[in-house]
Amino acid sequence: MSLVTDADDRADDGPDDWELYRDDWGIPHLRAPDALRLAYAQGRVTALDRAWQLEVERHRSQGSSAAFLGPEAVAWDRFARQSRLDDTARRCHEELDPQTAAWVGAYVDGVNDGLAAGAARDERFARTGHTPVPWEPWVPLGIWVATHILFAGFATKLWRERVARALGDEAATLFATDGPGTAGSNGWLVPGDRTASGSAIIAGDPHRFIEDPGVYQQIRLSCPEYDVLGLAVPGVPGLGHFGHTGSAAWAITNAMADYQDLYVEQLRTTADGAGIEALGPGGTWEPVHRHTETIAVAGAEPVEVEVLETARGPVITRAGVDGAPETGGTETAAAETAAAETAAPDAGAAAPDASEQTLSLRYPPRVRRDLGFAVLPALLRARTVADIDRALDGWVEPVNVVHAADSAGGLLHRAAGKVPLRDPANRLRPVPAWDARHAWQGWAETPAEPVQGFAVMANARGIASPLGVEFAPPHRADRIRALLSGSAQWSPEAMADVHRDTYLASAEPLLALLPPPAGLTPAAQALRTRLLAWDRHMESDSAEATLFAALRTATVRRLAADPALAALAAAPTGPEVFHPWLYLLPRVGYALEHLLATGLLPGLDRMAHVRAALEETAAAGAPDTPWSQVHRLAPWSALPDPEAEWPGLGGDHDCVNATSSVPGFTDRCARASAARYVWDLARREDSLWAVPLGADGVTGSPHHRDQLPLWARCALVPVVTDWTRLSKDSA
């Protein structure tokens, strides 16, 4: 192994013994004499290209972003501090083996050496008055945990609690679907017997909220030990999710596993009034860690945050405190003490309403003091599927489904990550902390299965079914399988046809409920005829796609207003960071297909709502507007540019080209493919990729948005591996 562990030796090597090249798209290709100096180079170049993004992500992981982003960032900062993200990163960093710690440290050294120059390129630093300070060694781990803490959607348990209390326990999963806050992806592995080259092809696209700058960084990392290209998470060394080493390649999707638990806590002040205790299993009162922190807020007064942690985990919502001004907790603790003394809880008792609960969060990295970072350098060194498989045994979070292949014909389809073994009730709703049945009992085996024909992963039920509760509808997975079945001569270029597919199978259940023509107005009859003749493709130039979306919006809004769901219509309470999971309208929009068929709501007159929605849509007299005129990209940015113009897109939530709006609320698209990739195991130089914006994170730079037009139409950029075709750059 070429990694060294002596920081002084690393400093003596200096920053000038590595090289930076770029291709025509500005994508960095790095070459260094060993793996440690290559990690330094990756950090340095990432800071040069994306200093603003790195600083935003660092401060989000530390709960300090409001200091330069203002009051709108306070809700996240409060959650980051209460869930102890930065402290978790520190603890995980302390447990790293020396070689991995040195590798991460080299990356941090590179970031620190590049931040000043990177900040000088970006006017957002001057605009906000923010000046970077040196990173601590654990910051990459903090960025990783902050990026993925909501990835598995534990806040869905708050929604299920609300649904169960309003509609009955049997309805807890009534709104099960891929959304609104869960990240999904497509991925497919085509073995060599179905490709033109005779070698496997891996392709797909991760679906995330589109951000400016983009959440993935195209990059190549080369040293004598390895030469790997792929998609990095800015602020994190290596290539955790998508990579091609030349002889082996891998890609992931969200397994939709459930591996985070919410515990209902009973708290009381100690007898001397100096501390807080939590009721643990067996009726034992346990000490609670408590301290306060202060969030600095640009343009506003600082905010004090009470940080509590029970034996289960950090307290992320406090009854009577969260969602209201912070009080320091003394009055609330006294009230909870009185409640505990007058009504001792029992395991079978119903929990209080979700908005009145004190909840702690238990999540694997904090329990294990491990984020799986040793896997990252191991993946870079992988030469075969067996190497990748062994490395992934140490993966922790997020829990993924993995495809891998190598040039010798090896194939891999497995889940990877740590899922706790515990009572099935833990997966559904918040559970009582005082009941020993809900304690974690070890870790589940991650399943694997042989690749037969071809392998598809699209967040639907399948290989990861034993690990989760809610999965995506099968439409994307079924459509990918149908498309792949159409040829046994697949090439990298042809994979773009799969990426761009816009067939919307989930349209059929709504269209099947359109009433017969008799009794409809002439306009509604004409609309009905037009929609039933439509090919169900959400193409960018399709006016029928726009009309269908309008009908869907009207239907969703009418269903959400039905008295059968009135108990769920109230605005969310509690911490703002969980609100996206708790609004009724988006929940109805994403679960529309299920709600149109379920027998759990006998009072819901679906036919009447669809008829009324059809008449409403027809009466609106919508012009023949192409779908892309209303289905426009709306990315997230820490400092939004109100003058920015973003393209219109084809596709929809359940299409392979998954450009997701919020049905019933808006047709604008916030979540889509955060990258697209095609890994060719015959010739890596025939691989393809694209990101939504570009390689450079600086607004207005030549490579900030140069891939956007290609990405919008699902075109791909060639991977370049020939060093003579690259331009040497200074760093």
> Has residue 332 got a pLDDT over 80?
no
Compute the distance between CA of residue 217 and CA of residue 684 in angstroms, rounded to an integer: 18
Q: What is the pLDDT of residue 176?
A: 85
Q: What is the pLDDT of residue 338?
A: 34
Q: What is the pLDDT of residue 282?
A: 87
For the stretch 20-40, pLDDT in tens is 999 999 999 999 999 999 999
Confidence of residue 9 (pLDDT cuts 50, 70, 90): very low
The mean pLDDT value for 514-529 works out to 97
Among 93-107, 306-320, 333-347, 453-467, name the one with the lowest average pLDDT.
Answer: 333-347
Q: What is the pLDDT of residue 349?
A: 36
Q: What is the pLDDT of residue 356?
A: 75
Buried-exposed string 155-164: b where 16+ CB fall within 10 A, e elsewhere: bbbbbbbbbb
> Has residue 609 got a pLDDT over 90?
yes
For the stretch 362-397, pLDDT in tens is 999 999 999 999 999 999 999 999 999 999 999 999
Closest CA to 568 of 183, 172, 75, 155: 172
Compute the distance between CA of residue 588 and CA of residue 570 in angstroms, rounded to an integer: 14
> Has residue 15 got a pLDDT over 70?
no
**Contact at 8 Å (CB) between 704 and 693?**
yes
Among 9-18, 54-63, 401-410, name the one with the lowest average pLDDT.
Answer: 9-18
Closest CA to 367 of 412, 424, 418, 308: 418
Q: Tell me which H or E stretch contains 306.
A: strand 303-309
Q: What is the pLDDT of residue 660?
A: 93
**Contact at 8 Å (CB) between 67 and 59?**
yes
Q: What is the pLDDT of residue 328?
A: 35
CA dihedral 68, 70, 76, 81 (to 10 degrees): 60
Q: What is the pLDDT of residue 654?
A: 95
Q: Tokens 């919006």 identify what position?
A: 553
**Contact at 8 Å (CB) between 501 and 609?**
no
Single-letter amino acid, residue 358: T
Closest CA to 154 of 376, 366, 406: 366
**Largest interatomic CA distance in the chain:** 84
Q: What is the pLDDT of residue 179?
A: 57
Single-letter amino acid, residue 52: W
The mean pLDDT value for 479-485 works out to 97
Among 221-230, 256-265, 319-328, 626-635, name the one with the lowest average pLDDT.
Answer: 319-328
> Has residue 669 got a pLDDT over 50?
yes
Compute the distance between CA of residue 380 and CA of residue 175 in angstroms, rounded to an integer: 40
Residues across the chain: 731
**Contact at 8 Å (CB) between 32 and 41?**
yes
Closest CA to 422 of 433, 413, 414, 412: 433
Peptide bond connecting 213 to the previous residue in cis, omega within 30 degrees of 0: yes
Compute the distance between CA of residue 656 and CA of residue 394 in angstroms, rounded to an integer: 31
Residue 601 CA to its chain's centroid (Å): 31
- Mean pLDDT, the chain, rounded, equals 92
For the stretch 251-307, pLDDT in tens is 999 999 999 999 999 999 999 999 999 999 989 999 999 999 999 999 999 999 999
Compute the distance between CA of residue 613 and CA of residue 409 in angstroms, rounded to an integer: 53
Q: What is the pLDDT of residue 16?
A: 75
The mean pLDDT value for 582-587 works out to 95
The mean pLDDT value for 448-466 works out to 94
Compute the distance between CA of residue 355 and CA of residue 603 in angstroms, rounded to an integer: 27
Q: What is the pLDDT of residue 322?
A: 46
Q: What is the pLDDT of residue 152?
A: 86
Q: Tell me which H or E stretch contains 619.
A: helix 606-619
Among 211-220, 597-606, 685-694, 695-704, name the one with the lowest average pLDDT.
Answer: 597-606
Q: What is the pLDDT of residue 182?
A: 59
Compute the distance between CA of residue 691 and CA of residue 703 in angstroms, rounded to an integer: 11
Peptide bond connecting 398 to the previous residue in cis, omega within 30 degrees of 0: yes
For the stretch 398-423, pLDDT in tens is 999 999 999 999 999 999 999 999 99
For the stretch 62-85, pLDDT in tens is 999 999 999 999 999 999 999 999
SS3 430: coil
Q: Tell me which H or E stretch contains 610.
A: helix 606-619
Handedness of CA 368, 373, 375, 378 (dihedral sign): negative
Confidence of residue 59 (pLDDT cuts 50, 70, 90): very high
CA angle 426, 427, 432 (to 5 degrees): 20
Domains and CATH numbers, the chain: 160-253+370-499 (3.60.20.10), 261-366 (2.30.120.10), 508-672 (1.10.1400.10)
pTM of the model: 0.93
Among 54-58, 114-118, 168-172, 332-336, name the one with the lowest average pLDDT.
Answer: 332-336
The mean pLDDT value for 325-344 works out to 34
Compute the distance between CA of residue 705 and CA of residue 694 in angstroms, rounded to an integer: 5
Neighbours of 7 (CB within 10 A): 14
Compute the distance between CA of residue 141 and CA of residue 92 in angstroms, rounded to an integer: 8
